[in-house]
Amino acid sequence: MKNEPIFHWDEETGKAACIVSDGEKVYTGFAQCHPDDSDMASEKTGCEIALRRAKINALRGYRDELKIRLSALNQYYHSMNMSYRFNEKSYENKMLQRQIRQIKFDLDTTKEMIASEELNLRAYIKSKDVFYTQTRKRRQKANNH
């Protein structure tokens, strides 16, 4: 992201928002504290989850742009291929094929990054749940003594 993320945390509702920008487009991510975890609500955790979701949304936006570009290049290739003057060995065709391969590679990589970020987010949330459970047990044990 080109610009620093912008965060908003509402302590009363336990909601966090994050805005990221790539210089041209703006992407948002939101997080809301689960009602069962209201005793553990923290700005740091809420903003971290919102930031991760904003980054995932930015990757999805980039993926969608790549799909549009790939579709346009494939359509252009199809139009060229229909011409009776089409030459498979021409410089133009080779460059077009190279661009198509590069966008396909970028698209696959972006899809993998989205899947990885989603997994990391789920793991982060799960680790917070484990931490909260352990903290509650320790607090309860301390209160019983």
**3-state DSSP assignment of residue 26:** strand
Q: Can you give the pLDDT at residue 1? A: 61
Residue type, 86: F
Instruction: Report the side by side order of strands in the sheet with 6-10.
Output: 6-10, 15-21, 26-32
3-class SS letters over 53-91: HHHHHHHHHHHHHHHHHHHHHHHHHHHHHHCCCCCCCCH
For 36-61, what is each residue's pLDDT tens digit? 888 888 999 999 999 999 999 999 99
CB 93 within 8 A of CB 80: yes
pLDDT for 20-40, tens place per residue?
Answer: 998 889 999 999 988 888 888
Give me the pLDDT at residue 110, please: 98
Distance CA 10, CA 26 (A): 21
The number of beta carbons lying within 10 Å of the beta carbon of residue 69 is: 15
pTM (2 d.p.): 0.87
- Mapping DSSP to helix (H, G, I), strand (E, B) and coil, where does residue 28 land? strand
- List the structure tokens of 144: 């019983």
Mark the ranges of the chain whose per-residue pLDDT is less than 70.
1-2
